[in-house]
């Protein structure tokens, strides 16, 4: 925990598949303290969510019920309580769903995700980032790319999410680098060779039908000639990101594009996009999430 502030006006929660982040907040949206862990949705049973949250925020609570506004996979079918999806086109934020709690010191509200019936797709958590981005960029009309385990590309117009599509690029990279034969060449981490990264993106965009064989070549080159793991990782990352950019081309071509993600991931996407002739503005996902949760609090909770 970063400081000893005890009684915030409300608490912001971003609860994803892998991680939990919480912030003690003032009514004005100022962060007083923060906490977090790797206790994401995937490692919890439904009856464990409340205890887990309390273990992160107990020092901030008193006898008066404190509003808690949460977004992300906490509102999924496998989460604390399911917050039904809202159908696009619509504004990114809808009324947060009140969820009963055993502990009277907290009053929980979960921001609903978005769904797309035609060309079926769903999002949870990214809608809050989109809302937070629009707090600072209310007139934005174009494409938002939200990189992550499941990257979202969303068409934004007139303050609404018009449509979106999801790419499992991050999860595919994780699976291939940890579970496939490529794990022997990728290594446990480290940097990316930029030349190999850009080359793999270009190769994949020009010949996406060859991806399956290009993936195995990562292993073959290492076996026959020896390869720096940084080069192998760069090739894998570039191949997968090249596939994403090729598939998303109808979205981003000729449109203003902005990135909303973690800084390190934003940089990778920005370099990949620059090679395709456009340079997106970069925005921090944490700031967007907090802006969005604050907007939800002010719109649906503070006035109650």
Residue range 288-298, pLDDT digits in tens:
999 999 999 99
Domains 10-140+286-301 and 166-283 agree in fold: yes
Tell me if the pTM is above 0.85. Answer: yes
For the segment 66-72, the average pLDDT, to the nearest whole number, is 97
Whole-angstrom distance, CA of residue 196 vs CA of residue 238: 8
The domain locations on the chain are: 10-140+286-301, 166-283
Residue 97, beta-bridge partner list: 110
For the segment 234-263, the average pLDDT, to the nearest whole number, is 93
Provide the pLDDT confidence category of residue 1 given band limits of 50, 70 and 90.
very low
For the segment 198-227, the average pLDDT, to the nearest whole number, is 94
**pLDDT at site 268:** 92
For the segment 8-27, the average pLDDT, to the nearest whole number, is 96
Residues 115-137 pLDDT 10s = 999 999 999 999 999 999 999 99
**87 exposure class (CB count in 10 Å sphere: 0-12, 13-18, 19+):** exposed
Residue 223 scores a pLDDT above 80: yes
Whole-angstrom distance, CA of residue 110 vs CA of residue 81: 8
Whole-angstrom distance, CA of residue 283 vs CA of residue 206: 29
For residue 292, what is the DSSP state? H
Whole-angstrom distance, CA of residue 45 vs CA of residue 86: 25
Whole-angstrom distance, CA of residue 45 vs CA of residue 65: 24
- What CATH superfamily is the domain 166-283? 2-keto-3-deoxy-galactonokinase, C-terminal domain (3.30.420.310)
**pLDDT at site 4:** 52
- Asked if 238 contacts 114 with a C-beta cutoff of 8 angstroms, the reply is no
First to last CA, the chain: 30
**pLDDT at site 190:** 73
**pLDDT at site 116:** 98
**pLDDT at site 253:** 86
Choose the CATH number for 10-140+286-301 among 3.30.1360.170, 3.30.420.300, 3.40.50.300, 3.30.70.1350: 3.30.420.300
Residue 32 scores a pLDDT above 90: yes
For the segment 188-195, the average pLDDT, to the nearest whole number, is 82
Whole-angstrom distance, CA of residue 231 vs CA of residue 229: 5
């Amino acid at each position: 925990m970063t400081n000893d502030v005890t009684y915030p006006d409300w608490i912001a929660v971003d609860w994803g598949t892998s991680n939990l982040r919480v912030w003690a907040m003032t009514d004005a949206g100022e962060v007083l303290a923060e906490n977090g862990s790797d206790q994401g949705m995937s490692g919890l049973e439904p009856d464990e969510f409340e205890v887990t949250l309390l273990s992160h925020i107990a020092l901030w609570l008193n006898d008066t019920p404190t509003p808690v506004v949460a977004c992300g996979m906490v509102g999924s079918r496998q989460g604390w309580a399911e917050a039904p999806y809202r159908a696009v086109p619509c504004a990114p934020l809808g009324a947060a769903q009140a969820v009963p709690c055993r502990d009277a010191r907290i009053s929980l509200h979960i921001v609903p995700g978005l769904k797309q019936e035609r060309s079926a797709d769903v999002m949870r958590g990214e809608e809050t980032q989109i809302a937070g981005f629009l707090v600072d960029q209310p007139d934005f009309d174009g494409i938002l790319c939200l990189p992550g385990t499941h990257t979202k590309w969303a068409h934004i117009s007139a303050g609404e999410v018009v449509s979106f599509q999801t790419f499992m690029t991050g999860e595919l990279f994780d699976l291939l680098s940890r579970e496939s034969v490529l794990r022997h060449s990728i290594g446990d981490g480290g940097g990316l060779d930029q030349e190999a990264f850009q080359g793999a993106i270009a190769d994949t965009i020009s010949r996406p039908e060859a991806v399956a064989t290009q993936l195995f070549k990562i292993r073959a080159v290492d076996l026959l000639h020896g390869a720096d793991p940084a080069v192998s990782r760069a090739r894998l990352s570039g191949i997968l990101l090249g596939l994403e950019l090729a598939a998303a081309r109808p979205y981003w071509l000729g449109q203003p594009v902005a990135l909303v993600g973690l800084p390190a991931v934003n940089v990778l996407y920005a370099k990949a996009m620059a090679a395709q002739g456009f340079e997106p503005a970069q925005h921090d996902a944490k700031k967007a999430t907090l802006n969005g949760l604050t907007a939800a609090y002010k719109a649906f909770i503070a006035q109650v």
